[in-house]
A and B are shown apart, each in its own frame.
Chain A
Amino acid sequence: MLKVKKQGKMDVSVQTPSTASAVAQEPNAFVKAVAEKKYEFGFTTDVETEIIEKGLNEEVVRLISRKKNEPEWLLDFRLEAYRYWQGQQQPSWAHVTLPEIDYQAISYYADPTAKSKEGEKKEIDPELMKTFDKLGIPLEERMALSGMAVDAVMDSVSVKTTFKERLSEKGIIFCSISEAVQQYPDLVRQYLGSVVPYRDNYFAALNSAVFSDGSFVYIPKNTRCPMELSTYFRINARNTGQFERTLIVCDEGSYVSYLEGCTAPMRDENQLHAAIVEIVVMDNAEVKYSTVQNWYPGDSEGRGGVLNLVTKRGHLRGVNSKLSWTQVETGSAITWKYPSCVLSGDNSQAEFYSVAVTNNHQEADTGTKMIHLGKNTKSTIISKGISAGRSQNSYRGLVKVGKHADGARNYSSCDSLLLGSECGAHTFPYIDVQNNTATVEHEATTSKINENQLYYCNQRGISTEEAVGLIVNGYAKDVINKLPMEFAVEAQKLLSVSLEGTVG
Chain B
Amino acid sequence: MVENTAWKHPLREKEKASKKPRKKHAKLRIKIEEFALVVIFAAIGVGTIFFGSYAVEKYEMNKAEKGLFSPNVFVLAMRGVDENLNFTQKVDITKQVMDFIRTEGDVVVYQRLISGSIPWYSVAFGGQLPTSLRVTYGRYFEESDFGKGYYKCVVGKSLLLNITRQDGVDYFSLGTDRKWEVVGAVGYPVVSDINKTVLYNMDGYGAYISQSEPFIIDFVGDGKNDQSRKEELKEKFSAILTAQGVSVVELEVPDSVFTVSGFFNMELLNLIMLIFACFCVVLSTVPLTMFWAERRRKRVAVQRMLGFSTSFTLWRMFGRLMILFHLGFLISYGVYFIIAKVGYLNLKSFFSPEMLVAYLGALVFNILIAIVPFVQTMRVEPGDALRRE
A and B co-occur in one complex: no
Binding site for B on A (CB under 8 A): none
The interface of chain B, by Cβ under 8 A from chain A, is none
